[in-house]
Structure 1
Amino acid sequence: MRYIVVFAQQEIGYAVGFDNLADAIDFLFWGYEEYELLPYGTFDLLTGDVWPYEHRGERIVNIDNEIISRTAQHYIKSAIRHMN
């Protein structure tokens, strides 16, 4: 798992991990289109880069990249704790 997508559903923040960027972006696209998710963006665990999500060329929500980064890192730490 390298890419962590961060999104909200019913005002609660979530994160999910993916192995490749195309799957991560696809998840956010269809989540917004079909499942009423509010996509924030994607965090790259390897580089630390953050990409705010743009749906059809426009940002859905104006959220600070630091929030995306912190949420993704919290998700990873939580996942590691549950594996031990």
Structure 2
Amino acid sequence: MRYIVVFAQQEIGYAVGFDDSADAVDFLFWGYEEYDLIPYGIFDALTGEVFPYEHRGELVIDIDEETISRTARDYLKAAIRQTT
């Protein structure tokens, strides 16, 4: 799992991991379109880069990249703990 998607639903932050960047973007796109998710962005666990999500070329929410990064890293730590 390289790409960690960070989003909110009903004001609660969540993260989900994907192996492919296209799947991560699709998740945010359809989550916003169909399921009332508020997409923050994608964290690349390999490079540490953060990509704030733009829906049809426009930012959905102005969120600081550090929040996206921190949420994704917390998700990764929890995932690692569950596998050991």
Per-residue deviation at 1:38? 0.2
Q: Which aligned segments of 4 or more residues in structure 1 are displaced greater than 2 angstroms? A: none
Q: 1:32, CA displacement in angstroms?
A: 0.2
Equivalent residue for 1:48? 48
Whole-angstrom distance in 1 between the partners of 2:41 and 2:79: 19
RMSD: 0.3
Question: Which amino acid counterpart does residue 57 of structure 2 have in structure 1?
Answer: G
Q: TM-score, length-normalised on structure 1?
A: 0.99
State the match for 1:3 in structure 2.
3
Deviations along 1:48-76, one digit per CA (max 9) or x if unpaired, are 00000000000000000000000000000
Tell me the matched-pair count. Answer: 84
In 1, Cα distance between equivalents of 2:78 and 2:61: 25
SS at match of 2:30: helix
